[in-house]
Structure 1
Amino acid sequence: MEKKKTGLLTSNGVSMLVPFILVTSCFALWGFANDITNPMVKAFSKIFRMSVTEGSMVQVAFYGGYFCMAFPAAMFIRKYSYKAGIMLGLGLYALGALLFFPAKMIGMFPPFLLAYFILTCGLSFLETSCNPYILTMGPEDNATRRLNMAQAFNPVGSLCGMFVAMTFIQNRLNPLSTAERATLSDEEFAALRDSDLSILIGPYLAIGLIIVCMLIVFACVKMPKNGDQSHDINFGPTMRRLWHTHHYREGVLAQFCYVGAQIMCWTFIIQYGTRLLMAEGDYTALEHTIGGLLGIDTSGAMTEKNAEVLSQGYNIIAMGSHCIGRFVGTYLLKYIKPGNLLRILGTLSAILIIGAIANTGRAGLYCLVATSFTMCVMFPTIYGIALDKMGEDAKFGAAGLIMAILGGSVLPPVQASIIDKGELFGMPAVNISFILPFICFCVVATYGYRVVKRAA
C-alpha cells in the first residue's frame, strides 16, 4: 500500500491552516510587546532622570514575568488546554497594557514596572501555550521547521513595535537632553515628566484594546485539541524525565544565553549608537535618509535626540534583517540539520560581536546590526531541538524554556552596570559591555556542536 503523504500543516488528515494562522498571530503580538519595550529603557531613564542601570529595571520586570509565570502556565495548560492558556495569556497581556493609564496618573516609575510584570505574565502564558501547540499541528518529523515558520512572524510584530516606539514615542518626547533635564526645578521636571508619560502610554493603551479584540476572536473559534489528551499534572516525575534528557537540559541553558544576548543587542544598540553618533558629530547619507523618513532635521549638528532616534532607526534595520533571516533560515532547515545551522549561526554571531567591541566607529555599529541576521532562527531552533520527541512532557518542557527567557532579565542590568562606567581600558564602556553577548553566542554555538556530535 502506498504511504499517504502528510503536509506540514496536516494532523490526522485534518488541515491545521486556520488554527495555525490564529496561533501564529500571537507570535507577532508578543514580538510587538518585546520590541516596543526595549527602547523604553532609554526613554524611562530620561523621563525619570535615572541611570542606565535603574532604567534597565524595565527589562527585569518585563522578563521577570516570563520566569515567574512559566510553570504556573504549564500546569494551567496541562489541567485545561492550549486554547485556555492562550486566552488567559491574552487577558493578562491586555490588563498589563491598560494599566499604563493609572501608572501615568500616579506619575512614578514602580507602577510601570508592575504593569510590565503583569503584561509579561500574559506573554509567558502565550509563549508556553503557542510554541508547543504549533509543534502538534502536523507531523513530528517537521515540527522544528513548522515552529520556525510560525516564529518567522514574530519579528514582523517586533518591527512594528520598534517603528511605533521610534515614531510615536521617541520622536515625540521633549527634545531636552539628559544633562538639560538634570537642571530643571522640581515643578518644571514634574510638568515635563507628565507630558512625556502621556506620549509614552498611548501605544500601550492601543495594543491593549487590540488584544481584547483578539481574546474575543479566540473565544469564538473552535480550536483543535492536539496535545490535550492528558490532564494529569505529575510534576515531579515529568521534571525528572526532562532533567535527565541531555538535549533538553542543555537547551534551557542555550536558550537563557540566547535570549540574554538578543535583548542586550536590541536594547543597548541605542546606547551604543547614541555614543558613537554624538562622538562622530556628523551624518552619513544613510542617516540623512533615515532622518528624512522620520521627519527629523539632519541639516545641523548632531543632537542627543537625533542620535537616539537614528540609533533606533538602525535597530529597525537590524530587525528587518532579522525578519528576512527568519524566512531564509526556515528555508535552509530543509537542507541543513537544526544543530548544524545553530552551530554556524552562533559562530558567525560571536565573530560579529567581536567586530562591535573592537571598532569604535560606524563599522562597529554595522557589525552589531548584522548580528540580528545571524541570530535569526536561534530561538525556535533551540526550542524545537530541546522539545524533540517530548510528547505530553512538552508542556512542562516548554515552561522550562520560557523560564530561560529570564536571561533577558538577568543579563541586561549587568551590561548596563558596565555601560554606566563610561570608559574602561581606554575604550568606551558600551563597547566593552558587549563581551556578555559574545559569551552567550559561544554557548549557543557549543550547544549546536554538541547536538550534531550526539546525532553522529
Structure 2
Amino acid sequence: MASGVTGTELSRKQWAFAFALVTSLFFTWGFAYGLLDVLNAHFQVIFKIGKTQSTLLQLAYFGAYLVYAPIASVFMERYGYKKGIHMGLTLYSLGAIFFWPSAVYRAYGGFVGCTFVIGCGLSCLEVAANSYITVLGSPKYAAARLNFSQGFQGVASFAGPMIASRWFFQGKNATSLDTVQWVYLAVAALGLVLNILFYFCTLPEITQDALAEEMHEVGLTNDKDPFWKQYRCIFGWVAQTAYVGAQVAVASLAVNFLAEQGVGIDKPLASQLFSYCQITFTVGRFVGVVLLNWVDPALMLSFYAIACCAFSLGVTFGPGLSGVGCLFALFFFESICYPVIFTLGTKNLGRHTKRGSGLIVMGVGGGAWFPPAAGHIADTDTTAHSYIVPFAGYVAMAIYAIGLVVDQTRKGGFRFRSVDEIAQKRAEMAREKDGSDSDIDKKGSQEFVESVSV
C-alpha cells in the first residue's frame, strides 16, 4: 500500500489485519512483565538477597524505557512503525536468549543486564504499538481500542505467574535456575517468530503528515505550537510516570505481601494468587473496553484513580484477608489507567504524535524508582506499609485526570462534534482551496471524527 495514509483510509480487511498483528505485540511484553515480578521473589531465595536488591530487576527493566523510548520515537519518526517493531523484537529476543548463560553461571548481574536489553526492546514496541493502535481509527474510540489490545497483555501477564507457581517454586526448582533458562529460551523464540511474521506482512504506514493534514482539516489539533507547549501531553507524561511506578511497586512485592498476611499463604500459593490478581486486572481491562464506549475517558480515569487511592490505603492498613481483598480490588481499578492516560496524553497531537508517544512511554520509567523505595520500606518495616509508596503515585494520576475533567467542563463540557459538522467544515475548507466541494468524502469524515471532543 502506498505510504502516507491515515487509519480511516484503510479498507476493513487492511484495518483488521494491521490491528490483529500489532495487538499480538501486547502479548509479548505482558508475558515478560508477568514473569519479572515472580522472578523478584525467586531470586531472593536463589541469590540470598533482600527485597530492595531484588528490585534491581525492575530498575533495569523500567529504566530501559526512560533511556530508550526517546530513541525509539526518533527512529520511528524517521523510518516508520514497521522498522521500529523489527528493532524492538530483535532486542527483545537478544535479551531473552542471554538469560541462558546468566543462569548457567548464576550471575545476578547478568540477569539484570539482560532485563535491561529486554526493556529496551519492549519500550520500542510500546512506542510503536500504542501509538499505532491509537491512530488506527476514530479518536473517540482510541481509548477503547487500546484497552482491548492491552487486554491481551493482561492475559499474558497472568500466564507468567501461573507458570512460575508450577515450575519456579516447586520441589528442586525452588532453589534452581534450570527452568528459568528454558522459559526465556521460549520467550526468545516467540520474539523471533513475530519478527519473521512482521517481515513478510504488509503493514500500512500511518505517517505524521497524513494524520496531521486530516486533523487540521477539521480543526482538531494545534500542532503548529512547539512540542514543549503540548501541555496535555507533558502532564500526561508526569501522570504516566507516577501511575506506572505505583503499578510496578504494587506488583513487585505482591507475592511477599500475600505470604506475610498471616492467613496460611505460602510462596507457591502466593504466586498462584498473584496470577489471579492479574486475571482480575485483565477482566477489569475488558470491562473498561465496554464502559469507554459510553463514558468519557477523563471522567472514567478520575473515578478509577480515586478508587486506586482508596484501595492502596486498604492494602497498607487492612489486616489479614481484608488486605488481600483490597489488593484484588486495586488490580481491578488499575486496569484501564495506562492506556487511558496514553490516549489522553497523545490526543490530537498531529505531527507531534510519534514524539508524544515516545514521551508518554518514557513514563514507564517510573517503574524503575518506585519499587526500590517500596522495597526499602518492606525491608525496614513491613511489606504492607510499603504500599504507601504507590498511593502517592495514584494521587498524582488522580490530579491529572480530575484536571482534564475540569478543563473539559470549562471549555463546554463533554460535547462531541456531529458528522454533519465535520463534513460541513471539510466542505468549507475545500471551497476555500479550489471553489469546489465535490470531492468531500463524508463517509471518511464519519469514520475519522465520528464524535471527537471539542
Query: Higher mean Cα deviation, 68-77 or 238-247?
Result: 238-247
CA distance, structure 2, for counterparts of residue 275 and residue 198 of structure 1 = 27
Please say if 1:114 is aligned against 2:113.
yes
Which residue of structure 1 lines up, in the alignment, with residue 142 of structure 2?
Answer: 143
2-structure distance, mates of 1:173, 1:321: 30
- By how many angstroms is 1:101 displaced? 1.0
CA gap 1:239/1:389 in 2 versus in 1, 3 angstroms: closer
Matches of 1:132 and 1:61, distance apart in 2: 24
Q: Is the 8 A contact 1:136 1:227 kept in 2?
A: no
Residue 388 of structure 2 is matched in structure 1 by 435
Choose the corresponding residue for 1:371, options 330, 342, 351.
330
2:305 pairs, out of 340, 343, 346, with 346
What is the Cα deviation at residue 107 of structure 1?
Answer: 2.1
Q: CA deviation at 1:226?
A: 1.1
TM-score, normalised relative to structure 1:
0.82
Alignment match, 2:9: 12
Cα distance, 1:415 vs structure 2: 0.5
Pair 1:325-2:284 in alignment: yes
| Residue of structure 2 equivalent to 1:49 | 48
Distance in 1, matches of 2:225 and 2:108, equals 41
Q: Deviations over 1:103-151 (max 9, x none)?
A: 1233211111111111111001100111111122112332222222212
Match for residue 243 of structure 1? 228
* Residue in 2 that maps onto 1:204: 184
Partner-residue secondary structure (3-state), 1:370? helix
The corresponding residue for 2:358 is 399
Contact 1:360 1:431 in 2 (8 A): no
Hey, what's the Cα distance between the residues in 2 that align with 1:398 and 1:420?
36
1:441 to partner: Cα distance: 1.2
RMSD, aligned CA: 1.9
Distance 2:64 2:225 in 1: 25
Return 5+ residue gaps in structure 2 as ranges: 1-5, 211-222, 410-454
Partner of residue 235, structure 1: none
**Residues in 2 aligned to 1:198 and 1:240: alpha-carbon distance in whole angstroms:** 54
Separation of aligned partners in 2, 1:109 and 1:131: 32
Q: Which amino acid aligns with 2:58?
A: Q
Is residue 373 of structure 2 the alignment partner of residue 408 of structure 1? no
- Does residue 389 in structure 1 map to residue 348 in structure 2? yes
Q: Which residue identity does 2:126 align to in structure 1?
A: E
Q: Which amino acid aligns with 2:196?
A: I
| Preserved contact between residue 285 and residue 336 of structure 2 (Cα < 8 Å) | yes
For residue 449 of structure 1, what is the aligned residue in structure 2?
Answer: 402
CA distance in structure 2 between the partners assigned to 1:168 and 1:391 by the alignment: 47
2:247 matched to which residue of 1? 262
Task: Tell whether 2:42 aligns with 1:28.
Answer: no
Deviations 1:339-363 (A, max 9, x none): 1000100111111111111122111
| Whole-angstrom CA distance in 1 between matches of 2:357 and 2:172 | 39
- The aligned amino acid for 2:200 is C
User: In the aligned structure 1, how far is the partner of 2:48 from the partner of 2:185?
Assistant: 24
* Contact persistence 2:173–2:179 (CA under 8 A): no
Report SS of the residue matched to 2:309: helix
Q: How many Å separate the matches in 2 of 1:252 and 1:113?
A: 26
In structure 2, the residue corresponding to 1:433 is in which secondary structure? helix
CA distance in structure 2 between the aligned counterparts of 1:228 and 1:84, rounded to whole angstroms = 15
**Secondary structure, in 3 states, of the residue corresponding to 2:369?**
helix
* Percentage of pairs with the same residue: 28
List alignment gaps of at least 5 residues for structure 1: 1-8, 176-191, 231-237, 283-305, 424-428
Moved more, 433-442 or 121-130: 433-442
Letter in 2 for 1:159: F
| Contact 1:239–1:396 (CA under 8 A) maintained in structure 2 | no
Residue 356 of structure 1 corresponds to 315
The one-letter amino acid of 2:256's match is Q
Q: How does 1:167-246 map to 2 (within 5 A)?
A: 167-175=166-174, 196-227=176-207, 229=209, 241-246=226-231
> 1:200-242 CA deviation, whole Å, 9 max, x = no partner?
2221111111211111000000100112558xxxxxxx99833
Do structure 1's residue 159 and structure 2's residue 139 form an aligned pair?
no
Question: What is the TM-score when the length of structure 2 is the normalising length?
Answer: 0.83
**Whole-angstrom distance in 2 between the partners of 1:71 and 1:17:** 29
